[in-house]
Amino acid sequence: MKTRKPFVVGNWKMNGDLIANEHLFTALRASIDRSLLSQVEVAIAPPYPYLGQASAWLGDTEMAWGAQDVASFENGAFTGEVSASMLRDLGCRWVIVGHSERRTLLGETDDLIAHKAERALAQDIGVIVCVGETLEDRESDRTESVLAAQIDALARFTSGVRVDRFVVAYEPVWAIGTGRTASPEQAQAAHVFIRSRLAQAGADAARVRILYGGSVKPASAPSLFVMPDIDGGLIGGASLVAEEFVAICRSAALA
Nearest to 75 by CA among 119, 127, 129: 119
The partner residues of 235 in beta bridges, in order of sequence, read 10
Average pLDDT estimate for 41-62: 98
CB atoms near residue 145 (< 10 Å): 12
Give the sign of the dihedral formed by CA 99, CA 117, CA 58, CA 28: positive
Nearest to 166 by CA among 179, 148, 182, 151: 151
pLDDT of residue 96: 98
Of residues 138 and 109, which shows the higher confidence score? 109
Residue tagged active-site, from 41, 101, 108, 171: 171
Chain centroid offset of residue 220 CA = 18
- Residue 160 confidence class, pLDDT cut points 50, 70, 90: confident
Q: Could you report the per-residue pLDDT of 162-211, keeping only the tens digit for each?
A: 999 999 999 998 877 677 778 999 999 999 999 999 999 999 999 999 99
Q: Are 248 and 8 in contact (CB under 8 A)?
A: yes
pLDDT of residue 1: 66
Q: Is 23 one of the catalytic residues?
A: no
pLDDT of residue 135: 85
Residue 2, class by beta-carbon neighbours within 10 Å (0-12 exposed, 13-18 middle, 19+ buried)? Answer: middle
pLDDT of residue 20: 98
pLDDT of residue 156: 87
> What pTM was estimated for this model as a whole?
0.96
How much of the chain exceeds pLDDT 90, in percent? 90
The angle subtended at Cα 83 by Cα 80 and Cα 88, nearest 5°, is 135
The domain limits of the chain are 7-33+41-51+63-71+81-254
Interacting residues of 92 by C-beta distance below 8 A, sequence separation 6+: 51, 65, 66, 67, 125
Mean pLDDT, the chain, whole residue set: 95
DSSP 176-243: SSSS----HHHHHHHHHHHHHHHHHTT--TTTSEEEE-SS--TTTHHHHHTSTT--EEEESGGGGSHH
Q: Could you report the per-residue pLDDT of 115-130, keeping only the tens digit for each?
A: 999 999 999 999 999 9
Average pLDDT estimate for 136-152: 93
Residue tagged active-site, from 99, 108, 191, 244: 99
Q: Could you report the per-residue pLDDT of 218-247, keeping only the tens digit for each?
A: 999 999 999 999 999 999 999 999 999 999
Q: Could you report the per-residue pLDDT of 108-117, keeping only the tens digit for each?
A: 999 999 999 9
pLDDT of residue 242: 98
pLDDT of residue 144: 95
Q: Could you report the per-residue pLDDT of 6-39, keeping only the tens digit for each?
A: 999 999 999 999 999 999 999 999 999 999 999 9
Amino acid at 134: T
Q: Would you give the end-to-end CA distance of the chain in angstroms?
A: 9
Return the H-helix or E-strand segment holding 110: helix 110-122
- The CATH number assigned to the domain with range 7-33+41-51+63-71+81-254 reads 3.20.20.70
